[in-house]
Amino acid sequence: MLAVLSPGQGSQKPGFLAPWLDLDGVEARLRWWSALAGVDLIHLGTRADADEIKDTARTQPLLVAAALLAAEHLPMHDVALVAGHSVGELGAAALAGVLPAEAAVTLAGVRGHEMAAACALEPTGMAAVLGGDPDEVLAALQSHGLHPANRNGAGQIVAAGAIDGLDKLAAEPPARTRIIRLQVAGAFHTPYMAPAEAALAAVAAGVTASAPARILLSNLDGAPVGHGPETLQRLVRQVTAPVRWDLCMRTLADLEVTGVIELPPAGTLAGLVKRELKGEGAPEIVTLNTPADLPAARRLIARHAGPARPYTPWFRMVVSPAAGRLARAAEATVGAEVRAGQVLGHVTGAQGPVEVTAHDNGLLTEWLAHHDDPVAPGQPLVRIGGTH
């Protein structure tokens, strides 16, 4: 099975789109998409320096446009699976047939602009935590008021939040870890981006989403999504939700993916896949950066094209056992693995606290009620997902 991956912010390089403008129709397409995104994609992809394309408002539509342009030159009808990292999910959704390319570029423009605006509201940032015990790292983040914004695979969790919290993390790192401060504008994929999520939701409400024509993995939990409107809802919510690329790669392994193509600007996701899916059965990888790489990508598709192995997601809903206020357990976070019988929280009412427990093993996919919300008996509280 073949997977095509669309990279996210941080993968861009000055001038990386320049070779693509030699292909027929590319310049005209970029001018049209520039009008939709509200930025000059030709300038950004060819002449802009590293500082200019580091700007979130410019980078996000540029990355989505680059992935879509390159994919137009591949036989995508032979591709079984697509996935994207962070803003790359918009490109992947378009390649899956959920969104028109124009809608993906427009939403990327809105997303980038609004996330940049949210970053300016208060000083926040991000830092990569390399190594250490994952549970100890997550506990340290929580103790400093930080969020695990990205989980990119074994030994790499990206912390995000207030600058003083990041300073405390650097001063008191968890055992056997190395902290690397990231040069980003703010705390992406955390509640600090709530204004951006609301703005994106307002625009996305006018977009018609179709069911995916191929397997499309979600950053929320690594599972395939099969419903167009739910996919669009997840794309919006991902602005404040952690990116679980580790779970996406687990699904690639579960599906026995044999070939991977990373769209331009390629290299980051290919590196993560190489580190995570190694040994016997490791997928063959092509990084598609310039038109000169297209023949190798097409040959890879010819070797690995084939029907997708059945992979059916299931979901179980956990409902409130009583009337009262919900208190969510600290470890019951979105993307966490839960087991049958695990206590996910409590509902406290007139008769005291009543446990909210999981009925199946799986991944905690979504909380449907906030901490301290008043809830009614039978009200859906949390969704647990898995596959078979």
What is the set of active-site residues? 86, 189
Q: What are phi and psi of 8, to 5 degrees?
A: -115, -170
The DSSP-derived string for 97-108 is TSS-HHHHHHHH
Q: Which long-range contacts (CB under 8 A, 24 or more apart) does 164-168 make?
A: 166/125, 166/126, 166/127, 168/144
Distance CA(54)–CA(13), nearest Å, equals 9
Best CA proximity match to 95, nearest among 114, 112, 78: 78
Separation CA 341–CA 313 (nearest Å): 21
Residues in the chain: 388
Terminal Cα-to-Cα distance of the chain (whole angstroms): 18
Kind of pairing, strands 324-328 and 374-375? antiparallel
Kindly state the tokens that stand for 97. 């047939």
285 φ/ψ angles, rounded to the nearest 5 degrees = -125, 135
Do 386 and 314 contact (CB within 8 A), yes or no?
yes
Relative to beta strand 124-131, strand 177-182 is antiparallel
Specify burial of residue 86 (Cβ count, 10 A radius: 0-12, 13-18, 19+). Answer: buried
Closest CA to 363 of 221, 172, 256, 261: 221
46, 100 contact by CB (below 8 A): no
Whether the Cβ atoms of residue 288 and residue 261 lie closer than 8 Å to each other:
yes
